[in-house]
Amino acid sequence: MARIKVIKDVTDFVPILRAVSSPVKKSVFTELADDWKTADEIEENYGEEGKEALTLFEKMKLVETRWQHTDRETKKAYHTYYSSVHIDASVPVKEISEVLYAAMLEDEKFKEIEDEIMEHVRKGENFAKDISDIIEVSPLTLKSMVKRSVKLDYRGHRILELKE
């Protein structure tokens, strides 16, 4: 079945950009577009980074899953959810620069900011506007960073911690 990802909210660029932000992620994503693969097959071919890519893709709703039989075992298999992307967005330069900043931020710096957001969420300060004021980033940048995170999710006006 051909599904099309329609991007109207500029922050929806973040998952697409993060899906191909390293050679391993790009290879895994490309392989999943071609065929169904289990986590074991991905880990065998790409190591731990490949398995982490699956977690990222699943959180960002870029892959679908199904159970498939392999040698007397049933394992979860992954495949890209969308077969194409349709971009329908007109964005001021200032806004796109905030989104691209969040998507392309170095992993170490992103982790620091993600941890700071997590601290506030765990303390019960989970309204996006409050957190953006506290950590001194725009609401758009905060939303983009949450979309990049595998630990956080944006629900309405709140930021929630995802449980494993």
CATH number, residue 37: 1.10.10.10
What pLDDT score was predicted for residue 87?
85
The pTM score is 0.80
Q: What is the spatial distance between Cα 54 and Cα 57, in angstroms, rounded to a whole number? A: 5
Which of 86, 102, 135 is where one domain is finished? 86
The ranges of the chain with pLDDT < 50 are none
Classify the C-alpha dihedral 103-105-107-111 as positive or negative: negative
The CATH number linked to 156 is: 1.10.10
Q: Give the Cβ contact number of residue 70 at 10 Å.
A: 11
Tell me the per-residue pLDDT of 21-60, one tens digit each, with 9 for 90 and over. 899 999 999 999 999 999 999 999 999 999 989 988 988 8
Q: Are 125 and 80 in the same domain?
A: no
Task: Give the pLDDT score at 88.
Answer: 85
* Enclosing domain of residue 149: 91-161
Domain ends where: 43, 67, 86?
86
Q: How many domains does the chain have?
A: 2
pLDDT score recorded for residue 164 = 64
